[in-house]
A and B are shown apart, each in its own frame.
Chain A
Amino acid sequence: MFKEENGFTELILASEDFSEEEFCRYHYFTKYEENIIDQLMAHGPVLLKGGRGTGKSALLREASNRMRKDNNDHVCGIYLSLRHLPLLRTKGAQYEKEFFVILVDKVKKIALNDYQYDFVSGFDTYSVYQAIIEFSEHIEKRIVFLFDDAAHIGREAGLEEFFDIFRTLSSGRVSCKAAIYPGVTKFGIRFDVYNDAKILDISRRYGQAGFNEFFIQVLELRMGTRMSDLCTTTFSLEQIAELLGMAVLGNVRSFIKGCSIIIDLGQKITFSSISEVFLSLSSDFFWPMMEEVRYKLGMYEPLVDCCVEIAELIYNECGSKQTTTCIIHRSLVNKYSKPLEILEYVGFIVKKEASRGMKSGGRGTRYAVNLCNELEKVANTRLTKDLYIKWIKTSEEDAQFSASSVTFNSIELPDVDIDNSVGILDLDIQKLEKSNAFPYGLTVDKINRLKEENICTVGQLAECSKTRLKQIYMIGDAMADRIRNTVEQAIWM
């Protein structure tokens, strides 16, 4: 959906930004998603894993809504976003305390509003555990916690503590579910990934049942008739949904961004206009995203240049072969595991098969490649009918990088910087200006007003309460919410 503000058409990209009513109106779930939602509502610990914009938050919110709205006799769902600055800056006992302050506050509100129950708890593990059990006994329902944005790549500070809490709170009466990103590998010594939780991967792969249906529905729900008005005999609505969904590797957020570019372009959809859209997505959305993410990776920040080199190599190879997939030998995948995980995190590649035999011998991991970025490397950088058919039919052989690939092996892998904190917090708020990298950004006017109040860095803005923001001239209730959303997305999205 679109929101009008200051004369600009602004697209809502993240499900967190929807009001309850809008959320129900603009979200659609296929059988595939319904199955995941069921597992989020069922008893037992679950880790929901997926890259940026794959729909983790939407699924958690929907599960929570269903558990509450359906007046479920046996379950009480509690959705809790962990987008809180103190959680990024603390570890050990301090992290636990910050975590439980947020959790207790949330449970308290739901207990009072929905059950007229006065939830009282201290802020240590034992007190919270006891209080939640008492609450569950009182309402005679199982509690399901849905922790959103629980674990990010590169932000390892409190992860060990988080997974400890996750494990400790889980019991016969309490289920914990958490959204995590691919590449989160530090679970602490007490948490055994497979034994302590069921892992659900969200993956919308081209060719998967319901893939086209899902993106057609997203198009219709989010774009209304705007898109169908631009369709032609060359490209029907279904074909646009399929091609764009495939090109952005099934990533919902990128798909919606692509749709908005098509609509802004306002031209009938042809191979030429689709080429323009893909190249625009690549240069104005995906590559800037890599820069945006750089400052959120903490200790892995030094790896970004290596990621860019790997991406360039993959796109060059796939582009010259006009193929949609590549296989990278296992030894290279092991060596460059973190950069490849970062590339997955930003939606540049997505793992299709973990173990595939290679022509040159041995086995490798097969990845699908972001076709918007690949188009930049295709001869003439144009989507032709011939190329379109090759992509849609996935008829071309995979590009392959063998263990002895000289070009791959020559990419320098820098050491990670374990002392590096999350750089985004120290950046000037100018960085939050509405741009391709920050499509949800602030206007120059608002940035200036904030700076006049000595709120100069992203970290300082994140620490500002809504009350403090509202004291600034021309910042009302809605704008304060908007600013807080913007800064949250800059740090966490």
Chain B
Amino acid sequence: MENFTKLICGDDFDEFGDYGKIVKNLSKKLNIYINFIRQYEWDSNQAYNDIPFYGRNILETTMTVLLGKIDPFRVITIYKVQSDSDYNLGKKSNSAIEWYGDIIGSSNNGKLWDCSKKKDYYERSVLGNHIWDSIWKPALMNLLDYVSEQNIDSEWLELIKTEDEVNSYSRLKADALRLFSLFSKGIHSECLIEIEIMLDKITLKSSIKDVVRLCSTLGLLSNFMGYLLPNVSKADAIQLYINVEEEIKNV
């Protein structure tokens, strides 16, 4: 398995039943995508066709894996529904994963934990206020404490270390939104001006590095909250993170 895939998906998921199968399927996809990026021939002059597709898929697949780690029942539901005899490829599925809702939470700045609110108020979005406060934030604290005494040569880790919990959340969420939109411009035919003006090689290279960093960072964090499974050890997660950083630098 690729470093990137292992960092996001963990390992030893064979005994996880349907959830294990889901992670296995997603890890296969991530392997293909990240391999493609690592070996991409940038001189082909086709980057504006290829990179948005792969970039968007890396982002969406990673987020789906993380959604599963946070809320396995959500992805198992979709898996089961897709096996239902009435499931129709030609129809929109009502239970499909939605970018806004499942992945990106609302911008509600109200009281986070409020005893007067009903359960729907508490969002389960991967990048939502509640999941950040209850899962990613403590995971970030665990990570920062873990790396604080170690001399690790990683620009990506340095970036994580220089931001507090609030700014880290803002940056990760904004990056996810920005990259999702940017790659969408290349996938859908909504870019009507000459595409290479908007998505030239340097923009695509920079963006694909950003998306791998974003996904790797969330993947790393997911290994610092013990109950998010499947996972790898903290030491392995750090090493995988550094390996991915090194690999993607050379793209």
Contact = CB atoms under 8 A, between A and B. Distances in A.
Interface string A171-204: 0110000000000000000000111001101010
Contacts of B193: 172-173
Given A172-B193, A195-B174, A205-B158, A357 B163 contact: no
Nearest to B168: A354
A257 B148 CA distance: 32
Interface string A134-171: 00100011100000000000000000000000000000
B165 interface: yes
A142 B191 CA distance: 14
Given A354-B164, A355-B165, A43 B199 contact: yes
Contacts of B200: 42-43, 74-75, 142
Interface string B130-167: 00000000001100110010010101001101111101
A31 B161 contact: no
Given A42-B207, A172-B191, A142 B155 contact: no
Chain A binding surface, main DSSP class: mixed
A209 interface: yes
Interface string A199-227: 10101010111000000000000000000
A74 B202 CA distance: 10
Contacts of B174: 194-195
A475 to B, nearest CB: 44
A38 interface: yes
Contacts of A172: 191, 193, 197-198
B178 interface: yes
A333 to B, nearest CB: 9
Contact of A351 (B141, B162, B203): B162
A201 B162 contact: yes
Interface size class of B (residues with CB under 8 A): 35 or more
B228 interface: no
Contacts of A439: none
A15 B249 CA distance: 27
Contact of A42 (B163, B191, B206): B206
Contacts, number: 90
Contacts of B205: 38, 42
Nearest to A75: B200
A32 interface: yes
B81 to A, nearest CB: 34
A103 interface: no
B196 interface: yes
A140 B197 contact: yes
Interface string A42-54: 1110000000000
A195 B155 contact: no
A371 interface: no
Nearest to B173: A194
B182 interface: yes
Interface of A: 31-32, 35, 38-39, 41-44, 73-75, 136, 140-142, 172-173, 193-195, 198-199, 201, 203, 205, 207-209, 351-357, 363, 365
21 contacts: A32-B155, A43-B200, A74-B200, A75-B200, A136-B197, A141-B197, A142-B200, A172-B191, A173-B193, A173-B197, A198-B178, A207-B151, A207-B153, A208-B153, A208-B158, A209-B155, A351-B162, A353-B162, A354-B162, A355-B144, A355-B164
Given A31-B249, A44-B178, 6 more contacts: A35-B249, A41-B202, A42-B203, A44-B182, A73-B196, A357-B141
